[in-house]
Structure 1
Amino acid sequence: MARFDEEYIAKIKTDFANDNFKVRKTRLDELRADVEKELSIPDPNIALSIVKLAIKMFFDGSESCRERAVQVTSICLNSWSLPVEETVFIFFPILHKRLGNQENAETSEEIRLLLVKLLKLSIQIYREAIPPFIVDIIDILNRRIRDRCPDVIKESCDCLDELVLTVPEFRLRSEQIVETVIIATRHKHYKIRVAAVHSLGRIISLARCESIQTVCGALGECLLDQNPHVRRAVYKVASLWLMELRDRYSFFHYILPLILTGLNDENCSYRNEAQNWWHEIGLQYVKENDELLKDKYELLPIELENYPFDVERPNLGCRTIVSKEVHKIIPTLLKELEDWKVEVRIRASELLEVMVLHAEINIVSLLETILPVLCKVCSKGEEVVTQRIVKSGEIIGYFISPKIYWQLMVPQMKANCLIGHYIIFASLLKHCPKTHISEQFNEIISMMIENNFCETRELISLQSLLKIISKLIDCCEGVSLDDNSLKNLHLAILSTMAFGNEDIRNEAADLIQKLARSVSLSIHDLHGKCLPSLFNRLLSNCEMWESYSFDLSILMVLLSLFSGPLKQQLIWKPGRTVEVIRATALSIILLFLKRNGNLSSEFFSEIVPLVISLCEDSYEETRIYSLEILSYIGLHGGRNIDITLFKQILIVVAGRLEDKRDSVRLKAIQSLRNILLKAPRLDSLKGMPDFENILKSLHLLFISVDDSNEQIQDSILEIFKVPQIVTNVKSVFPEEIISSFIRKCRHKNVSTMLETCLKI
């Protein structure tokens, strides 16, 4: 056993002063062994002298000597009872020089770690003597928490925790280190981030709360951390604050988002923990405010009828806390929904859902602010965010009557109806009680029709519109529905057929059946009740239609639904009235072709023969529409037009060049141009039946070019200006025949132009 006396100290001094580092190292090893073996406590002055000598070795040039010196000092402080005042006044300034001073800072990471551990030990031992050195210690921790070595940073955070717990005087100066710890929450090592989060939690819990807003902002960023341990640390800290923090009610609006975000954490275990902590917070709040909440607790139902959500309803305390703070949190949350970072938008949408679920009816005062933002965000097409916002809308719709949010949404939809308006409106109606919808039923349907709400062409909007219509139809069951509302619902369904894809049209067809069942009518009777007024509407404004007119699109839907009855109107019958009906039917078919381009085999087999026969109808409009349809067929028929049909169409159309009406003749010329543009090689038809009739038809074209009507002359000359047509015609007419046509022209200018076009 070593005997610690003056002679022993003299040997230590001598060896520590030796230039050979091996001698110093050996003496430090022996000193450490002696201190570890010494059971009796040496004289305090001797012990202090040994510690002083060891501390001086903190500046030794040898890294191994400095390491041993720190170890010896740690053992001495932990084992011996040293004079407090003398020790701390020597010890802390030296530590500050090695850890907090830029010039004399320790270069070895391993030794810096030992020094920080030594600092933590000294705080535990000399807690009552710390106050004079708080500034130095804060300086040390500010530097070491920014250290390059992860272990040093983590140990520094632990040291900070010890300082907060054991030295009350530090709490008055805690603001000086908050920013440094916040920086550590962004460190690349997750364990350091976790340690920093816990350190911030203790600083706010035990020290001053002036920085709580800044700290909560930093912890809010940690909620986006990919490592679940970091997020769990935030939930834990937030739950402790909500239960233990002094004046915590004043800071609820800062802290609540931290714990409520945890209710949707992707890690199931940590999500359940957060839910349990939050439940306990609510129970504690009820106990603390028993008198204030007594009436609510006794009168309000714990379970709501038809509560539609797949979660347990939050307890009264949780709902009350959120309801009191929601107006402070929502504005910031709405800004985050439009943040440039995807993860921020997703977290904000998740938190919004939780806030709305807790606030319940109390969210009503914020609807004017919330709904426009939700509609705007949903219009951006971000699927994950939209799904969460839709759930928020469903919750709002369950608790809030349409009478309230309807008044807020209508002006927005009239001004600029976006995709988001359809999505949000559909979500609001999804879980809304039927009795609430019934109060606004007629008003909702009228607005949908009168304000172009049903004229959307966006697929997502159409899907949402179908959901809205389906919910409205559900409310029709067992209710007397007036004719106007029924017709508007019917028209709304037809509009989705007009602009939707096949899936939309199929779903709309199902809704037609659903609507018929809800009002106890057959499909035939439903159409019979709704279509007369709809046709009157279409007829009243058809002259103003453009290619994208809503009413034209509705007409196209009706044609596709009722093509059979329309075909019957093309069959010739005597009488002036049926003449007009035939012309109208042809005009509808022409519009349908131009809109949908539907040239199916069924169309060619059933409709085209009827159209060809009507080219000789006595009614001028009928002949014109027939020629225009054949012109469209000739240009767009493609493979559906075989040789036989081509010959038939060419002969019939050319025959109209001798019509008594110039308007019909001009339409025939225009039709011939389109037919000849897509015609097969005419010389390949030689020897076929009707070839002579084809030549006669082309002969009529040459004869008609010499017509006295200049408009007809010009129209035919335009045909002969097309090289493709000229080449095809010349393939079946010898040059001498063409020359004779030119010579026989009565109008010199026509013969000149024709000769130029044909290049004879």
Structure 2
Amino acid sequence: SMAAAGAGEVAQALSRPLSCLQEPDCGRAARLQALEAIRAEVQERPLSGAVVQEVFGAQLVRPLARCLAGDAAERCRELALQLLCHGLSHGDRPGEALPVLLPALAQRLCPPQGFEPSEELRLGLVQLLSLLLRRCGASVAPYLTDVIRVLQATLLDHYAEVRRESCRCAVACAQAMPEHFHMQSESLIKPLMQTISHQHYRVRVDVIQATGAVIQFGNGKSVDDVLSHLAQRLFDEIPKVRHAVTTVIGEWLLHLRDRYSYFHKLIPLLLGSFTDEIPENMKLAWTYWEKIGSQWEKENEEDLKDKMDFSVSPSHYPKGVTRPGLGCRELVSRNLSKILPGLCHDITDWVESTRIKASQLLYTLLLHAEDHITQHMELLLRTLYQACLDEESDVVKNCVKAAELIGTFVSPKVSLRLITSAFGKTPKPSCIMVLTAVIRGSPKEILQPHLTDLGNTLSQAGVCQRSEEVFYMEQLLCCVQALIDVCQEDCKEISLQLMKVLVTIMAIPCSQHLKEKVEETMSSLAEVQQLDSFLYLYKEHIIQLMEWVSVSCDCWTCYSPEILQLDVIATHSGPVIGEALNNFILILKTCLQPNKDPQMRLKLFTVLSQLLQKASETVNSQGLFPSYLETVIKDILAPNLQWHAGRTAAAIRTTAVSCLWALIHCEMLSPKEILKVKDGLMPQIIATMDEDSKIARLMACRIVGVFLKVCGRQFDEDKFTNTYTEVLKRLDDASCDVRLAAAHTLTNWFKCLKDSDVKSAMESHIEFLYQELLIHLDDPDQNIQNAVLEVLKEGSVLYPELLVREIEGVVHKHRMPVYCNQLLHHIQSAKGSA
């Protein structure tokens, strides 16, 4: 035949170089020359495949393989390799070379005998193995053990390109002889996993693709050995690596022989890519998932018949989200009980990226599972309570989104009962966070029957007074806001309970920003009830709020939260407090008894005194306060003006005196009322002029002044005497304001005495007072001099001659006689006009 003739000719030409190669003492240069000559004959002329095969099989394979396996010269091995590749690529029956070549490859690439030192040659040798696998297919089966041995070594080669080629080789091997391969595929898993986290991302991609093929055509049981490694690669920062993982998982879910038994392990990995930041990767995952879902639907048509015919879309579905197909939903629902425990464990893992990924996946799973979530509620809630306290905000955000789906798909009968029973144990801020999310995810009409229970739960002291921690209170506030946003006008039925919660939050001693937010929430609660402002909520509820807050007022201490709540109700309600005086005064009367905790009394007095500063806009907004005055003065103020040792007691007396002054100053305490109470109060007020507190002394001086004005004319000798001796001491006060007030009060004292029956009995006192006042007339402070001048002008009417004698006795001692002269002048002109 032609082929035989052509082959004969070539064989002739090859005989010399071949015999040269086989001589034992053939040197490197001669060997090289021989190989070059062979190349010239075989490679550089156009020979048919049949001729190449003939020459190759008969003459060249053995000597070239020998050279490849044992020649000491790298260039010789390189030429031998080139020639072998040429022969295998162009010959007709490459399989005939397998018995010679595979042992040679194993000898050069497998420890312990051989190790090819040249990186490039190692790469060439693995490429030769790939070529054999591609060209020879199943006929490599008898040598599979050798192939696997080679790959176990080369997959761990130091040279990245050798590893990559070995991965491609493994794929070729798996595809070439699947039925044989699956007996030995497991031997490749270990080296593949050892190289899956290689520093070059291209190596990682190739390893992942190889792993896909090795398991697809090999033993599916190896899935378990590689899953954790593949899951780790979903965190790879190189998008192509993540893309490769998604492809492998998608292919397995579609084509793996025993895929049904691996669904629960593989689904989480595929769905994990739904949140990949690269749109292409995300789309890839969705495309696979839709195919997997519809394939599963077809395979399980009988089983799904009813669901396909009767499945109704949920009426309330998250906005802007496409509902996954039936197959996808079923796949998740049926595998949820196997997926959730591991996932919940990952959400609380110590590695942040794991927690974020797991929290994203939780949302995706719940979106698919819909009402199948119900039977997993306890595990889910436990996990969410813990995860919502995560310091990583992404974890919290994803968990809150997941919790909203509970509101969407699970009956509130179940979810609310479980969550509120957790409150009973310990209401963590995260329990409230989860409740808020469930409320936000729920349809209004489904929550309506549960509102009263919710309102009662939130307003229990154990929940809303649980903690003064700001974070806890913020969550509680968000929960109330969520109820208002979702339930709108239905909140009317729990308006009182919500007000209790809001008052409690406002009452904790915390940041201003929270108080502003509470007020906004109150305003929105008013708005959904068509009320113009939150003051109308107080109007609606103030009596019930007062009753609620005062249940235990007989046992309050300064630490009772109710005091701060009462403060909010009384001061934040503006004019509305004027409609609840009965309750308010009763609480004050109970709690301001002198035997009660002094710190607490001080707090309450401070509230009262604030209100009295603006009485007409607060307690007296309805004009009803005067009818309580007697109680306020006799039962509340008077007992607290009594002297007791201690700083707090002094502060209480100061506040009580301020309250009394506020009542007088705004003229709520009319002259008629003053007459009723003056006997009870006068001794204490006089005593208060000697307090350490400047404010107390100032108020007391002013009050004495008013008492004199109103009823001083009826004073007897003792009262006149007691009063002036104490007021006079105040002219030596350290505070200028107090001295001025004292002077003003003495003016009133003189006015009263002018028309009194006891004027003559008081002469010696008046003489003493003249003498003392003249000393103060020379005070270094001009304001005091002017004030004392006015007092003396008023007093001069009583005994003018006596005063003139006193002035003449001291005028020469004064630094500034001008005031004495003015006073003399005043007395003269008064006398003249009389």
Report if TM-score (shorter chain) is over 0.5. Answer: yes
Name the residue aligned to 1:245.
256
CA contact (8 A) 2:17 2:38 kept: no
Answer yes or no: is 1:68 the counterpart of 2:108: no
Give 1:443 shift.
1.1
Q: 1:593 to 1:127 in 2, by over 3 A?
A: farther
Name the residue aligned to 2:153.
143
Alignment of 1:78-97 (within 5 A): 78-81=89-92, 84-85=95-96, 87-97=97-107
Alignment of 1:102-501 (within 5 A): 102-168=112-178, 169-301=180-312, 303-450=313-460, 452-455=462-465, 456-474=467-485, 477-479=488-490, 481-482=492-493, 485-499=494-508, 501=511
CA contact (8 A) 1:423 1:464 kept: yes
In structure 2, give the amino acid aligned to 1:119: L
Name the residue aligned to 1:25.
32
Give 1:551 shift.
2.3
Answer yes or no: is 1:8 the counterpart of 2:14: yes
In structure 2, give the amino acid aligned to 1:8: L
Q: Which moved more, 1:373-382 or 1:137-146?
A: 373-382
Q: Distance in 2 between matches of 1:328 and 1:591?
A: 59
Per the alignment, in what secondary structure is the counterpart of residue 37 of structure 1?
A: coil
1:230-286 per-residue CA deviation (whole Å, 9 max, x = no partner) reads: 111111112112222223222111110121111111101211221122122222222
CA contact (8 A) 2:388 2:396 kept: yes
Name the residue aligned to 2:734.
694
CA contact (8 A) 2:197 2:204 kept: yes
Per the alignment, in what secondary structure is the counterpart of residue 122 of structure 2?
A: helix
Q: Distance in 1 between matches of 2:66 and 2:32?
A: 14
In structure 2, give the amino acid aligned to 1:163: C
Q: Distance in 2 between matches of 1:245 and 1:548?
A: 68
Q: Distance in 2 between matches of 1:502 and 1:43?
A: 92
Answer yes or no: is 1:36 the counterpart of 2:55: no
Alignment of 1:621-660 (within 5 A): 621-622=640-641, 628=648, 631=651
Aligned-residue sequence identity (percent) comes to 26
Q: 1:557 to 1:380 in 2, by over 3 A?
A: farther
Give 1:510 shift.
2.3
Q: Distance in 1 between matches of 2:37 and 2:84?
A: 13
Give 1:339 shift.
1.0
Give 1:128 shift.
3.3
Q: 1:515 to 1:578 in 2, by over 3 A?
A: closer
Q: Distance in 2 between matches of 1:138 and 1:547?
A: 82
TM-score where L is the length of structure 2: 0.69
In structure 1, give the amino acid aligned to 2:359: S
* CA RMSD across the alignment: 4.2
Higher-Rg structure is 2
Per the alignment, in what secondary structure is the counterpart of residue 111 of structure 1?
A: helix
Q: Distance in 2 between matches of 1:136 and 1:578?
A: 96
Per the alignment, in what secondary structure is the counterpart of residue 552 of structure 2?
A: helix
Per the alignment, in what secondary structure is the counterpart of residue 733 of structure 2?
A: helix
1:190-225 per-residue CA deviation (whole Å, 9 max, x = no partner) reads: 111111111111122222211112222221111111
CA contact (8 A) 2:105 2:125 kept: yes
Per the alignment, in what secondary structure is the counterpart of residue 565 of structure 2?
A: helix
1:62-109 per-residue CA deviation (whole Å, 9 max, x = no partner) reads: 222222221111111222245745x22221111111112234111111
Name the residue aligned to 1:77.
88
Q: Distance in 1 between matches of 2:401 and 2:586?
A: 57
Give 1:583 shift.
5.6
Q: Distance in 2 between matches of 1:276 and 1:546?
A: 67
Task: Note the residue ranges of structure 2 that are not aligned, 5 or more in a row.
Answer: 1-5, 620-632, 655-680, 698-728, 740-834
Name the residue aligned to 1:541.
552
Q: 1:269 to 1:432 in 2, by over 3 A?
A: same
In structure 2, give the amino acid aligned to 1:537: W
Q: Distance in 2 between matches of 1:587 and 1:14?
A: 115
Q: Distance in 2 between matches of 1:695 and 1:433?
A: 67
Per the alignment, in what secondary structure is the counterpart of residue 211 of structure 1?
A: helix
Q: Distance in 2 between matches of 1:155 and 1:404?
A: 57
Q: Distance in 1 between matches of 2:154 and 2:431?
A: 53
CA contact (8 A) 1:419 1:458 kept: no
CA contact (8 A) 1:44 1:83 kept: no
Give 1:287 shift.
2.1
CA contact (8 A) 2:371 2:409 kept: yes
Q: 1:553 to 1:18 in 2, by over 3 A?
A: farther
Q: Which moved more, 1:271-280 or 1:17-26?
A: 17-26
Q: Distance in 2 between matches of 1:70 and 1:458?
A: 77
Q: Distance in 2 between matches of 1:284 and 1:475?
A: 40
Give 1:320 shift.
1.0
Q: Distance in 1 between matches of 2:144 and 2:604?
A: 87
Q: Which moved more, 1:290-299 or 1:392-401?
A: 290-299
Name the residue aligned to 2:800.
none
CA contact (8 A) 1:393 1:428 kept: yes
Name the residue aligned to 2:639.
620
Q: Distance in 1 between matches of 2:470 and 2:647?
A: 36
Q: Distance in 1 between matches of 2:575 and 2:383?
A: 48
CA contact (8 A) 2:53 2:93 kept: no
Give 1:631 shift.
4.5
Q: 1:316 to 1:593 in 2, by over 3 A?
A: farther
Q: Distance in 1 between matches of 2:114 and 2:587?
A: 109
Q: Which moved more, 1:625-634 or 1:277-286?
A: 625-634
Q: 1:404 to 1:7 in 2, by over 3 A?
A: same
In structure 1, give the amino acid aligned to 2:640: E
Q: Distance in 2 between matches of 1:82 and 1:475?
A: 77
Alignment of 1:39-54 (within 5 A): 39-40=47-48, 41=51, 44=54, 47-54=57-64
Per the alignment, in what secondary structure is the counterpart of residue 694 of structure 1?
A: coil
Q: 1:228 to 1:411 in 2, by over 3 A?
A: same
Q: Distance in 1 between matches of 2:154 and 2:605?
A: 79
Give 1:187 shift.
1.1
Q: Distance in 1 between matches of 2:320 and 2:86?
A: 59
1:332-382 per-residue CA deviation (whole Å, 9 max, x = no partner) reads: 000001111111111101111100000011111101111011111112332
Give 1:628 shift.
4.2
Q: Which moved more, 1:525-534 or 1:393-402?
A: 525-534
1:603-658 per-residue CA deviation (whole Å, 9 max, x = no partner) reads: 9xx99xxxxxx99x971314669984975999xxxxxxxxxxxxxxxxxxxxxxx9
Give 1:47 shift.
3.7
Give 1:479 shift.
4.2
Q: 1:19 to 1:406 in 2, by over 3 A?
A: same
CA contact (8 A) 2:20 2:31 kept: no
In structure 2, give the amino acid aligned to 1:265: D
1:48-73 per-residue CA deviation (whole Å, 9 max, x = no partner) reads: 43121111222222222222221111
Give 1:396 shift.
1.4
Q: Distance in 2 between matches of 1:548 and 1:19?
A: 106
Q: 1:582 to 1:221 in 2, by over 3 A?
A: closer
Give 1:427 shift.
0.8
Q: Distance in 2 between matches of 1:13 and 1:503?
A: 98
Q: 1:343 to 1:42 in 2, by over 3 A?
A: closer
Q: 1:695 to 1:142 in 2, by over 3 A?
A: closer
CA contact (8 A) 2:370 2:409 kept: yes
Q: Distance in 1 between matches of 2:105 and 2:28?
A: 22
Answer yes or no: is 1:550 the counterpart of 2:561: yes
